[in-house]
Amino acid sequence: MVPPPSEETLSESTEANPQPQARAPGRIKESGTQSKKKERLRLMRDKQFHRQGFKEQRDEVEKTMDNEYQSALVKDLRSNQYVMERDGVRVHLAKDFGFCWGVERSIALAYEAVNHFPDKKVHITNELIHNPEVNDRLHDMKVNFIEKIPEEGNPNKKDFGTIGDGDVVILPAFGASFEEMQYLHKKNVEIVDTTCPWVSRVWNSVDMHQKKGMTSVIHGKYAHEETVATTSFCEDYICVKNKKEAQMVCDYILEGGDKEAFLKYFEKAVSSGFDPDKHLTKVGLANQTTMYKKETREIGQMLQKTMMKKYGPVDSKDHYMEFDTICDATQERQDAVTELVENTEKLGLDFILVVGGWDSSNTSHLLEIPVKAGIRAFHINRADCIKPDNTITHRNMSGDIVTESFMDMGKDVVLGITSGASTPDAAVQDTLSSVFLLKQLHAQAKE
């Protein structure tokens, strides 16, 4: 995996611009206007804003994380060309899987913060990452997860009333909204920012859109924590979650249509005062870092072709721009499970297991790859989804949690396995241990 840009570089280059009053498309924001980028940099320079962690805690935290999240079984798989046979089960592990650099960094920063402030109450504004084991561990460490209290018109409202003077507040790997950062800055609290640097790259992209007077088209899920943070740094934006919604945007750019119906459909996914007749004349594409990269590329091609058709090949460059903001780790994991899928017949795979939080976007996209290829696959969030009665509880492509029959016990089993970027190796080990144990129990019952 290519290392992310340095923290120092990101602090100067990856923040977003402000949301001034309505302006004509194409007009560049006046230089005298105080930008959100400048404001965020100002907040980050405060002595109570911590982004580099606490070095005196580093060695202890590293040992703790190794004990809690590493796996001897996974190390054996890696050293044996990602293949293992045990108890009538042959395992093929994807060659890229599990914790990415950004996730490990966020966990380490959170652990260091808890240790560094032993006498202070510690809060976090969201789940640190979308993984149940990690978030359960933070609960065990007495970290208070800020409660969401959604209301009409503000589905992301949170109860910050539990935060007291002098407390510690952790910002999760997904980042925090501009408004949350401003609010916390006004309180006398220590802020520990664990935002993944790859997420900050997206903020740099939407900043460029704003500078060029463009509306940000964000390929992402409008309610996802990362996208909520990103849109808070935008001026004008629209979120599209898939090619179907992107096609709706392209059709409107070319043909216009029923504005009221368009706005009704995207009412939760657009900026305040969004006008498709005005705000879709110049657009820039960015994406939630955990989305399916193939789909993002296809959406980019759709938008580019639309602008060429609308404005011609020469002028279209003034109406469309894009940046690749899918993080390397996400792409590597997608490529690795694609390799498993392409070799399913050769390897004789019966199914593929995808391990990771059910609300993890990057993990859900790993499931899409085998399912769309017609290969049996299961997305589980914990090892105990595999039951002693040979059933498995899993999240399907529609997002439903279902239970069904699992393995064919009349034969040796061949499986592929991968895990999301927010999933520790220990979760993969626990999952495989459950599979091995199930086969053992069946073999003993036959004797």
Please state the length of the chain. Answer: 447
State the amino acid at position 411 in one-letter form: K
In the residue annotation, 226 being an active-site residue is answered as yes
The answer to whether 422 and 131 are in contact (CB under 8 A) is yes
The answer to whether 220 and 205 are in contact (CB under 8 A) is no
Residue with tokens 């560049």: 28
The answer to whether 37 and 293 are in contact (CB under 8 A) is no
Closest C-alpha among 28, 48, 277, 64 to residue 181: 48
* Active-site hit among 15, 180, 226, 245: 226
Reading across the β-sheet that carries 320-322, which strands appear in turn?
237-240, 215-219, 283-287, 320-322
Residue with tokens 């939630």: 288
> What are 414's strand-pairing partners?
90
Backbone angles phi, psi at 176, to 5 degrees: -130, 155
**How crowded is residue 347: how many other Cβ atoms within 10 Å of its Cβ?**
15
**How crowded is residue 295: how many other Cβ atoms within 10 Å of its Cβ?**
17
For the record, the structure tokens of 69 come out as 């999240």
Distance, in Å, from the CA atom of 396 to the CA atom of 403, rounded to the nearest integer, reads 10
Task: Render the burial of 275-293: b for 16+ CB within 10 Å, e for the rest.
Answer: ebeebbbbbbbbbbbbbbb
Which residues are identified as catalytic? Answer: 226
